[in-house]
Structure 1
């Protein structure tokens, strides 16, 4: 059953079939002022075994609650079908089906007609493969959560609070329509949906798909002379190229977005921020500082405290990259105070992470570990599993730098598990790379090569050229240490070509020099 929260225009799931009295171990304090009158009723489900229900009316709260001991078969957890007592974990199983039903517009086991077959499938664990559904495959994090909700062991299912936190960070997409999309639907609406889809692909590091969606949206906005849509989509395209380390392409799109005068200073600042970050990636620090500073001024004048703090963090990273660590710490600290004041837990955690990075670069490992650990706890509290995994990865790298390989391996493995669960392929690749680095450090070269190869395939699939080049270098070094000079030469050369394509001549030349060193050993 679902109701709507009218003030926020959102649907709320309130129960699954029929609510039940909680056991004594689950009962909390009863709300004060509830004048409750009980009225017996019966379950209206036709064709099912009758269920005795009670209607509890609260005059004070103007609510009516049905309670009983029954359940609806298709949404029922396996323990209920085996006559176990219902519990909160049973509702979590049903919640997984609610997510499936909303997104696919089909009920559980929609292809099955008899109850006996439904019961057999549930008990045997023969559930649908959510990733095979075209729409569900786009929301890997939700698919992962649904699979956890359907754990045969009730104790392994997430709690309601954990579900709420996980869903709050997921990219959004409209549910499947009950019928085919109207051919006369607005093209501009279609472009808006393409942008939503592109954002979802970008958050999952599927950059080729994101570029395809944004490019199609841009064509529609251009055809309809929608300047606001054009500017926003150009900025999104710039973001994707920036994340792929394609700085020249990124800068081009940001500049095009800035040329469209919308009279919206906040929109302009967003494009300036992207352009500033692009200059930072190209080591053009003077221009980056100038643009970040302009962003700070705009956000200050428009009263956008959080965005101002984000721009301060951008400035801090520029100073960090220039080894001006004192300035970086001051700027991160100023941003941290803003996020603390506005009670933004996630951004506060990101800033703690930035401070930890500065201390790591200064080889102040104890302070870095303390800050990473504080950020890790904040990300855990906020339910942000992606950033939690990234922080675990950085903690692992600190321990690897200190040759504490057992701890590094443990942390990288934990990060890898999270990335797999939330469906972050790029994150999975970086975690595999980290584990491979640990194996290489302890001279377990065969295992290292296997992990590097798996990581490189992922980076190739998602179009992440920088990490692909980095992994080629790592594989080359592993082969070189094993005396496989010819293989190493080929890998160094391939990495050089990848960096050349990205416009990074410095790294491209370095890789070629490494290949030349290998040739000398052959001679």
Structure 2
């Protein structure tokens, strides 16, 4: 009951904050745009289009189209890239990835004509994230690498850190946690140097998730809670929705506290519904389904799974489809419907194999192994057992501990790199001084010897010959 009350209070609080604030902002912008002309009018139309995202996707795109048309009519072609980039972001947030890519491609063409390198890199970055959500990981990395090349060439330090972090997120999704940790930590160091508190907190959260995968649960929880505090201070509701979901996952899977987990999940869902974040809603609905599944409230569990799966399929969120099919398979296993369980587990495995999401391979294999045992299906059991025997790593725990120690050591070295560079520069300077003193000393000796030889020579000339 306390959880439900907390959810309702949180939902109402955020609803009031968002609704009132958004409507006031939209009303103000509508009044302002009628009084403006030229560049100012276009900038206001872009802001109005972005404000409409939380109210009406249709109005958001219509306003963006108005901005693009006005820019064309008035000859402000340099602003077209910005308008199209904003419209692409609106489409991406709504889950319409095909439309998002269309706008982003148009934005690329517009920016190429104006040499807007920072904006060009940003567009490549956003396209990479869309392909990541479509589970087209190679293509995602391809676009993100183009962004990093531009950012390196034009010394766009903060944007480069963002691209590195996005590539790390792809490695995380694929289950390559070492590469994910490398990228997150590189970005975290940059954001710390730039005093960018919010992005630093995002990297802290992401690093916490890697530690969680390595079973360093307390360290992971500490990092997530640290990030949550910063997000609340900065009123970053997008990231707050993410961190609530992640903390809920940790409480659910490792602390085994379903009450606390459900509280965090429902807070996350309330925020994501208000933001219209379809992808985020799909993620957290599936997680809420797991809580109900473990409480044997299977009707409620399947209801949440069905919503999560329908959203993921509608927006083309492949990771969400893989994840939810796995959860449904486990729910059917729990309800002893083993054949139905295997059907969903096989769907999960086929998609995971197709898109290279390898962290599902072992857990699907183990679940199917148990299903075949329960069914008394000897042939099915032996087939899964052969897979199990060939892939099971008996040193998994030791490997995770080794990875954790390796990562910590590597990052401590990274933290000392600036100091090492300073000491190296000092040593180089000292070495140059030593060489200078040495050459000076040798020169003085040569001069002294020369003077002495001259004196001796002169003295010898003054000695009378007997």
Q: Distance in 1 between matches of 2:316 and 2:214?
A: 28
TM-superposed CA distance for 1:188, in Å, is: 6.2
Residue 274 (structure 1) aligns with: 126
TM-superposed CA distance for 1:362, in Å, is: 4.4
Residue 268 (structure 2) aligns with: 415
Residue 150 (structure 1) aligns with: none
Per-residue Cα deviation, 1:228-282 (whole angstroms, up to 9, x for no partner): 2221222223333444555444333322222221022112111121223234344
Gaps of 5+ in 1: 1-139, 148-166, 508-520
Task: Give yes or no for contact 2:265–2:284 (8 Å, CA) kept in 1.
Answer: yes
Please tell me whether residue 345 in structure 1 is matched to residue 218 in structure 2.
Answer: no
Please tell me whether residue 445 in structure 1 is matched to residue 318 in structure 2.
Answer: no
1:187-336 equivalence runs, <5 A = 190-202=41-53, 204=54, 207-244=57-94, 246-260=96-110, 261-336=113-188
Task: Flag the 1:207–1:436 CA change in 2: closer, same or farther, 3 A.
Answer: farther
Q: Distance in 2 between matches of 1:410 and 1:142?
A: 17
Residue 436 (structure 1) aligns with: 289
Gaps of 5+ in 2: 1-12, 358-374, 376-466
Residue 113 (structure 1) aligns with: none
Give the number of the structure whose residues are more often strand, by fraction.
1
Q: Distance in 2 between matches of 1:341 and 1:178?
A: 40
Q: Distance in 1 between matches of 2:214 and 2:55?
A: 30
Per-residue Cα deviation, 1:334-357 (whole angstroms, up to 9, x for no partner): 111111112211111111122223
Q: Distance in 1 between matches of 2:290 and 2:42?
A: 43
- TM-score (normalizing by structure 2): 0.56
TM-superposed CA distance for 1:302, in Å, is: 3.9
Q: Distance in 1 between matches of 2:156 and 2:172?
A: 24
Give the number of the structure whose residues are more often helix, by fraction.
2
Q: Which of the residues 368, 376, 394 maps onto 2:246?
A: 394
TM-superposed CA distance for 1:194, in Å, is: 3.3
Greater relative contact order structure (CA < 8 Å, 6+ sep): 2
Q: Distance in 1 between matches of 2:307 and 2:135?
A: 31
1:442-521 equivalence runs, <5 A = 442-449=295-302, 466=317
Residue 408 (structure 2) aligns with: none
Task: Give yes or no for contact 2:231–2:239 (8 Å, CA) kept in 1.
Answer: yes
- TM-score (normalizing by structure 1): 0.51
Task: Give yes or no for contact 1:456–1:472 (8 Å, CA) kept in 2.
Answer: yes
1:152-163 equivalence runs, <5 A = none
Task: Give yes or no for contact 1:235–1:257 (8 Å, CA) kept in 2.
Answer: yes
TM-superposed CA distance for 1:288, in Å, is: 3.6
Task: Give yes or no for contact 1:296–1:311 (8 Å, CA) kept in 2.
Answer: yes
Task: Flag the 1:446–1:343 CA change in 2: closer, same or farther, 3 A.
Answer: same
Task: Flag the 1:214–1:360 CA change in 2: closer, same or farther, 3 A.
Answer: farther
Residue 115 (structure 1) aligns with: none
TM-superposed CA distance for 1:144, in Å, is: 2.3
TM-superposed CA distance for 1:393, in Å, is: 0.8
What is the root-mean-square deviation in Å for CA atoms of aligned residues?
4.8
Task: Give yes or no for contact 1:188–1:220 (8 Å, CA) kept in 2.
Answer: no
Task: Give yes or no for contact 2:148–2:164 (8 Å, CA) kept in 1.
Answer: yes
Q: Which of the residues 164, 169, 173 maps onto 2:25?
A: 173
Task: Flag the 1:206–1:359 CA change in 2: closer, same or farther, 3 A.
Answer: farther
